[in-house]
Structure 1
Amino acid sequence: MLSKEEAIQRFDPNGPGMKGNIFGLPFSPDNAELILVPAPWEVTVSYHEGTANGPRAILDASLQVDHFLQDIPDAWKLGVCMLPVPADMLEENKKLRNWSREHLARIGNGETVSPDDVVLSKINEACENFNIYIKSVTQNYLKQGKMVALVGGDHSTPLGFLRALSEHHPRFGILQIDAHADLRKSYEGFTHSHASIMYNALKISAVGKLVQVGVRDYCAEEMDVIHRAMGRITTFFDEDLKAYAYQGKTWYAQCDEIIKQLPHLVYISFDIDGLDPKLCPNTGTPVPGGLEFQQVTYLLKKLVLSGKKIIGFDLNEVAPGKDDWDANVGARLLYQLCHWMGASQGKLAIRKS
């Protein structure tokens, strides 16, 4: 087994990458600094399906990502590796998704489904078992001193990872990039719905702050949660961000306000639908509006330059369509997230302006 240094010496970052490895990089779980955990799971999606295929699609598209970053010239040397996409998880997801469709059809036909319904109970139990599995896998690598991130799947997938991080960090904040607030107590009967991820995350006592950016689709229940949070949640609604921009407020100034709301330790939860849907047309629940790609990368840069430390992240809701556009965008966003996380932890040098 090659050491990290040997792998770096033997690799040509200007040549074709290694097929089957994320970004074509020459790293393995043994010598990588950052482990990406794929989570091909979309049991509770409520609109378009396809996010379970996100990790594989991102992996395939990542071979086309060039390795040089203007602000982090030696980014690729960090050492990023993605674990194999688990086939058994895909099969379990497929079986449970069939049950979910039946459940959703009953609701759509006006049937009242009890929370104790056998099928619904089995789905909710399976989703909690999934959370336990994700916690176990991520915990294993955190204990080894690795940086860890998760690639979904729908946005329900990172809960187990957040639970694992809470055992390593007594207090941290979440920066959520999303079109949706995801603060429903449950949705369509699913207690671990993609629409409930932040409601469930806030049950973790270590999560001291939730900062949401780009939200533009939400319900009255979620607004009540935000108002009752007593400052624990700060939401930068997309319509407000746009209005301030129209009035002359720069993205530079708006990023400063976002970052000021976050504590020193930050977890990033990135739902791809936080971007303008032209960048993710096949995502599960696209919404007009949203952020541009360079707005996001600028926010990441400012976050790291402010001295904040990224302790983990997830990237979710990338759903490949008939072409690989969504996966291309997802792969490039993933590359940015990986290496800004490395820079925030002092493992990569940032170019001096």
Structure 2
Amino acid sequence: MANNNKITLVQNFDPNGMGIAGNLFGLPFTPETSELIILPVPWEVTVSYQAGTARGPQAILDASVQVDLFQEDILDAWKMGIALLPINENLEADNNKFRLLADNYIQWLEKGAGEIQGERFAAVPGIINKACEEMNEWVYQQAKTYLDKGKIFGLLGGDHSTPLGAIRALAAKHPSFGILQIDAHADLRVSYEGFDYSHASIAHNVLKIPEVKQLVQVGVRDLCEEEWTYIHSDERIRLFSDSQLKADLYEGKSWASICQDIVANLPEKVYLSIDIDGLNPALCPHTGTPVPGGLDYQQLIFLVKNLVKTGRQLIGFDLVEVAPGTEKDEWDANVGARLLYRMANLAAVSQGKLHWS
């Protein structure tokens, strides 16, 4: 029935016309009729600088109807079906509640963690860690449900702590894989501000998963000494820092050659994690922790496209840390929506759901 319904949806949809309001990319599909499912996770409880990423999924959904569906190298890519699951209002409410608690705690730390209110704040890290673990478990169950149905799974954050549950679900399905992390930050802190599931600890947490055999970080340009030591003491980690990438380019090395070096460090199965701040902040000015430097949009597309062309399989992906600007400023969301569409279709090519033109 679902297949027949999908055929009807495709036949009745005009990809050159207006999309369907309220649907991701204006597409006519439901989760049942889609090959690829995207889970929105409006969560930014441990954000330590600028907030706003919890509103990223809705902003990208709103902006996505402006994305043209045509891709010259993957014709009729839209026909596979992409669906965004509903934003969970209970999770959104929990985020707002625990974000306020964490923010008050962070401000207390920044003021010197004085004895006044010390007893009150002592319990906060435990409360926040429990809330984050419950979020991770919810994401795990959502990911497992759709992976068990044979769907390609993507996640749309929220901050960078949100994909951990999805990566755990993929580890239950794939005995061995690597992670390609596009990021301005290494995110290898063992714990940050007392929060074990901080957005600054996602890379450290995924390396606890035995099935993760390799972590390749690209575009990093802001890290602490502890993280630098971590990188050089763990043979599973390969860093392509922004300064290294730019030096290679300035000295005449082609981006194609650099991408070949990056991809060579990855195994056959790869999970792609994109923190939008890995891009030049001109493309994401409202992200939580922007840093000068970074990749150009087309540089990132070229890298992922070339990874797929080597025959490697993208087993899943996330896009996180997209924060909308002020009213009527949709730039970050426009960039995020286009990146999300491209990653979805490249993942589908890698899994044989779509084909190069």
Which TM-score bucket, shorter chain as reference? over 0.9
C-alpha separation in 1, matches of 2:72 and 2:222: 34
C-alpha separation in 2, matches of 1:119 and 1:203: 24
1:95-135 per-residue CA deviation (whole Å, 9 max, x = no partner) reads 00110111001101111779x92122111110001000000
SS in structure 2 at match of 1:235:
strand
1:19-43 per-residue CA deviation (whole Å, 9 max, x = no partner) reads 1110001110111000000000000
Counterpart residue identity of residue 72, structure 1: I
C-alpha separation in 1, matches of 2:5 and 2:122: 52
Identify which of 143, 156, 170 aligns with 1:138. Answer: 143
Q: Which residue is equivalent to 1:77?
A: 79
Counterpart residue identity of residue 295, structure 1: Q
Counterpart residue identity of residue 132, structure 1: E
Q: Which residue is equivalent to 2:332?
A: 326
- Does structure 2 conserve the Cα–Cα contact (< 8 Å) formed by 1:38 and 1:150? yes
C-alpha separation in 2, matches of 1:287 and 1:105: 22
Q: Which residue is equivalent to 1:248?
A: 252
C-alpha separation in 2, matches of 1:123 and 1:92: 11
C-alpha separation in 1, matches of 2:211 and 2:103: 35
SS in structure 1 at match of 2:216:
strand
SS in structure 2 at match of 1:151:
strand
Aligned Cα root-mean-square deviation (Å): 1.3
* Pairwise CA distance, 1:301: 1.0
* Unaligned residue ranges in structure 2 (runs of 5+): none
Q: Which residue is equivalent to 1:163?
A: 168
Given the alignment of the two structures, is residue 128 of structure 1 paired with residue 133 of structure 2, yes or no? yes
C-alpha separation in 2, matches of 1:174 and 1:80: 23
* Pairwise CA distance, 1:254: 0.2
Q: Which residue is equivalent to 2:17?
A: 15
SS in structure 2 at match of 1:215:
coil
1:316-349 per-residue CA deviation (whole Å, 9 max, x = no partner) reads 0000011100000000000010000000111111
SS in structure 1 at match of 2:356:
coil
- Structure 1 outlier segments of 4+, above 4 Å: none
- Does structure 2 conserve the Cα–Cα contact (< 8 Å) formed by 1:74 and 1:349? no
* Pairwise CA distance, 1:3: 2.3
1:138-174 per-residue CA deviation (whole Å, 9 max, x = no partner) reads 1000011111110000000000001000000000000
Given the alignment of the two structures, is residue 275 of structure 1 paired with residue 279 of structure 2, yes or no? yes
Counterpart residue identity of residue 240, structure 1: Q
Identify which of 296, 299, 311 aligns with 2:303. Answer: 299
- Does structure 2 conserve the Cα–Cα contact (< 8 Å) formed by 1:152 and 1:316? yes
Q: After the TM superposition, which residues 79-158 of structure 1 pair with which residues of structure 2 at under 5 Å, given as runs?
A: 79-111=81-113, 117-158=122-163
Give the share of equivalent positions with the same residue, in percent.
Answer: 55
Q: After the TM superposition, which residues 170-185 of structure 1 pair with which residues of structure 2 at under 5 Å, given as runs?
A: 170-185=175-190
Q: After the TM superposition, which residues 250-265 of structure 1 pair with which residues of structure 2 at under 5 Å, given as runs?
A: 250-265=254-269
Counterpart residue identity of residue 142, structure 1: L
Given the alignment of the two structures, is residue 223 of structure 1 paired with residue 225 of structure 2, yes or no? no
Q: After the TM superposition, which residues 50-69 of structure 1 pair with which residues of structure 2 at under 5 Å, given as runs?
A: 50-69=52-71
* Pairwise CA distance, 1:90: 1.0
Q: Which residue is equivalent to 1:340?
A: 346
Counterpart residue identity of residue 56, structure 1: Q
* Unaligned residue ranges in structure 1 (runs of 5+): none
SS in structure 2 at match of 1:192:
coil
1:52-81 per-residue CA deviation (whole Å, 9 max, x = no partner) reads 000000000000000011111111112100
C-alpha separation in 2, matches of 1:87 and 1:225: 38
- Does structure 2 conserve the Cα–Cα contact (< 8 Å) formed by 1:151 and 1:316? yes
SS in structure 2 at match of 1:228:
coil
Q: After the TM superposition, which residues 19-34 of structure 1 pair with which residues of structure 2 at under 5 Å, given as runs?
A: 19-34=21-36
Q: After the TM superposition, which residues 31-42 of structure 1 pair with which residues of structure 2 at under 5 Å, given as runs?
A: 31-42=33-44
What is the TM-score normalised by the length of structure 1? 0.97
* Pairwise CA distance, 1:7: 1.3
Q: Which residue is equivalent to 1:310?
A: 314
Counterpart residue identity of residue 337, structure 1: M
